[in-house]
Amino acid sequence: MTQLNQSGQQLAAANIKKFGDWVAERDAAGDWQDYIRAGKLNRSEIANECGFALSVVRQNPAVKAALEALEASLHERGILGGTEAPGAAKDDPTALALERRVMAAKAKAEQRVKALEEQNAALRAEIADLREQLARYRHLEEHLYRTGRMLPP
C-alpha cells in the first residue's frame, strides 16, 4: 500500500516502527554521540534517517513519547547530558548565551571557509586559463623565431 492510500493511524504506526528500527540500529552501532547536538538528540537528523518529516517527531504523540523515553534512557546510561537533567540546559541563560555565541562563531567560520573555497576554485580556474594562453603564446613565439620574424632574446 502506498503512503497516499494509508490512513493517518497506519502512517503513525509505520513511523513508530521506523523509529524503533532506527533506535535498534543505533544501539547495535553504538554511535549515539553522532546524533547529539546541544545536549539532546538531533531531531532533524533522526527524521532524515528514519525517512519521515521533522513534523512527525514533533507532532506524532507516540514518536514524541518514544523519543523522550529514549533521551531519558540515554541520560541514565550517561550517554546524553552528563550530570545535568535533560531540561536544565534550556533554563540556564548563560549556557544558552554561550551556545549561541559558539554557534555564531562556528557559522561565521564556516561562511569564511566557504568564501575561501570559492575564491580558491576561481583562482585555480584562472591559473588553468593562463597556462593555456601561455602555451599558445609560446607556440606562436617559437614559430616567429623559426621563421626569422623575431629575434631570440
User: What is the number of domains present in the chain?
Assistant: 2
Q: pLDDT of 56-74, one tens digit each?
A: 999 999 999 999 999 999 8
pLDDT of residue 85: 47
Q: What is the pLDDT of residue 86?
A: 46
Mark whether 6 and 78 lie in a shared domain: yes
Question: Do 33 and 71 share a domain, yes or no?
Answer: yes
Please tell me the pTM assigned to this model: 0.50
Q: Does residue 77 share a domain with residue 23? A: yes
Residues 82, 104 within the same domain = no
Together in a domain, 67 and 132? no
Task: Give tens-digit pLDDT for 74-89.
Answer: 888 888 875 444 455 5
Per the CB < 8 A criterion, the answer to whether 20 and 62 are in contact is no
Same domain? For 100 and 74 the reply is no
Q: Please say which residue of 88, 123, 145 terminates a domain.
A: 88
What integer pLDDT is reported at residue 90 of this predicted model?
55
**Structural domain range at position 19:** 1-88
